[in-house]
Structure 1
């Protein structure tokens, strides 16, 4: 009996969330197990250098191959390509300035990313992945977060939903905290409402799932902060959906951008749109 791909897709759509989750876990495990370390290395090299080789130090395109070096990855000896820049004489590899630099467990990264998406703790992730410690995953997580922070998002398209949120300023890990007593798990601000004791985080997302999320400073959001953060990603072809905070309205008016503003009860505040 021949089963069509369309029939399989229809059957998958009928699965409940728990069954879909188990299916995804199975496919990820199968794909990870079937892909060798050498295949992963070749794919990374191909993706990174698809537009040509470039020096990570001086951006020169005058690059030559400079031999190979051996390293142990998951108990297997693997030879990696080394390159040298003819301009600055620096040597580098395909992993230089990437989250995978000096990583010895390449075939476990995919599973770890899935664990991060699911929100698992480092200890639980280590148990699910196997043969790796939560301490190693701690450094991997920071590598990934650093890489994500450096990624430049594309311009927003169409409708852009935007909102700001505030967190009490934290100095966790500081041994000598000035101007206040140490506190445990949260605490409360000295002043009522939003003040300079809170950190402002702006989140914006369009219908193509292009997402911006970043801390903008202390206290209330201003139009200057908004313009500096994502002004170059917006145009008068966008439509903003925000709450009633006046900085959004002032910014949209100055940039000639249409805006819908909503009250906390969900009713549209802006008339005539």
Structure 2
């Protein structure tokens, strides 16, 4: 037996990286079948989603009764609207026939594998995985918090507007691997991503507008999370100065031109600028991201960055649970036909 095992290891060592990953996933499923892992995950999802009691996802009524089973899962019936539902209705897993493969796919996402490599490992097409990715991220970006605490650093970063994957572009020549802007500096070809972060690492990172940020966009993005007790620290852009003055928020401006990056040894925007740097490096691996999906990737990055990109069972489960508990009714068709709107 030991000799057979040694020979097996020699053969595995000669396999390609993708084949090795397939063997690894097979062994993992054999040791701990994904059906049991997936079942436990569904149970945890149900407990989290319905922690305040069962509620109909169609009409929000609490008058719900058990109503047999569907595809091996408990089905429920609402006595108010008479519609039926399961634990996964209006979630990422709704109507999917490959629930167990989602765990393997998220494992691949954490490892930074491309969609094509992931497809070989998971056993579905890369196009299917593209929509799985965005169904997960559409749900994940609903994670939110109420208000910032204390010092809040705010700064913006920019990405070139991209229509990656879109056919029939007529208003400009196609770009190769992202391309470059026709204009120098910040222009309306640039997508502005506003990042605001307090010292507890509560973070907003979303697409704000095209071109330079303006006061009304600052209010829309972070106004509800700021109070007069906060201290705002920004660069010297005038929109922030005007906004802080109107809202009576204490404000410090970092003017890089005079070489001063820290005020009173405490007020700076280094945390936000560090996050910008990590974001740019992380997103470069996708060789261009369609702007209409950019908010999804921003949500994904915040999740992995907050966990130092660690690929652990706990993080994979946390990622799935965080995505599954939010309502998500998007279909492949609605994701494909979605438009970029500010």
TM superposition score category, shorter chain reference = 0.7 to 0.9
CA distance in 2 between counterparts of 1:41 and 1:57 reads 20
Gaps of 5+ in 2: 1-23, 268-342
Aligned partner of 2:248 among 256, 259, 270: 256
Q: Structure 2 vs 1, CA of residues 179 and 132 (structure 1 numbering), >3 Å: closer, same or farther?
A: closer
Aligned partner of 2:116 among 123, 142, 153: 123
Structure with greater strand percent: 1
Residues 87-166 of structure 1: matches in 2 within 5 Å? 87-126=80-119, 130-166=122-158
Deviation by residue 1:55-94 (Cα, 9 ceiling, x = unmatched): 2222222222222112xxxxxxxx2111222222222111
The alpha carbon displacement at 1:45 in A equals: 1.4
Q: Structure 2 vs 1, CA of residues 242 and 83 (structure 1 numbering), >3 Å: closer, same or farther?
A: same
The alpha carbon displacement at 1:98 in A equals: 1.2
In the other structure, the counterpart of 2:63 is 62
SS of 1:123's equivalent in the other structure is helix
Gaps of 5+ in 1: 1-24, 71-78
The alpha carbon displacement at 1:105 in A equals: 4.2
The structure showing larger relative contact order (alpha-carbon pairs under 8 Å, at least 6 residues apart) is: 2
The alpha carbon displacement at 1:95 in A equals: 0.8
In the other structure, the counterpart of 1:49 is 50
Q: Is the 8 A contact 1:163 1:242 kept in 2?
A: yes
Q: Structure 2 vs 1, CA of residues 241 and 104 (structure 1 numbering), >3 Å: closer, same or farther?
A: farther
In the other structure, the counterpart of 1:83 is 76
Structure with greater helix percent: 2
CA distance in 2 between counterparts of 1:87 and 1:141 reads 34
Q: Structure 2 vs 1, CA of residues 138 and 175 (structure 1 numbering), >3 Å: closer, same or farther?
A: closer
SS of 1:65's equivalent in the other structure is strand
**Aligned-residue CA RMSD (Å):** 3.0
- State the number of aligned residues: 237
In the other structure, the counterpart of 2:190 is 198
CA distance in 2 between counterparts of 1:261 and 1:117 reads 37
SS of 2:32's equivalent in the other structure is helix
Residues 206-217 of structure 1: matches in 2 within 5 Å? 206-217=198-209
In the other structure, the counterpart of 1:18 is none
CA distance in 2 between counterparts of 1:241 and 1:116 reads 34
User: Which structure 1 residue ranges, 4+ long, deviate > 4 Å from structure 2?
Assistant: 129-133
In the other structure, the counterpart of 2:261 is 267
Q: Is the 8 A contact 1:260 1:270 kept in 2?
A: no
The alpha carbon displacement at 1:106 in A equals: 3.8
In the other structure, the counterpart of 2:303 is none
In the other structure, the counterpart of 2:325 is none
CA distance in 2 between counterparts of 1:222 and 1:204 reads 15
Q: Is the 8 A contact 1:244 1:269 kept in 2?
A: no
Q: Is the 8 A contact 1:263 1:269 kept in 2?
A: no
CA distance in 2 between counterparts of 1:110 and 1:160 reads 36
Deviation by residue 1:37-70 (Cα, 9 ceiling, x = unmatched): 3322222211111111122222222222222112
The alpha carbon displacement at 1:227 in A equals: 0.3
TM-score (norm 1): 0.74
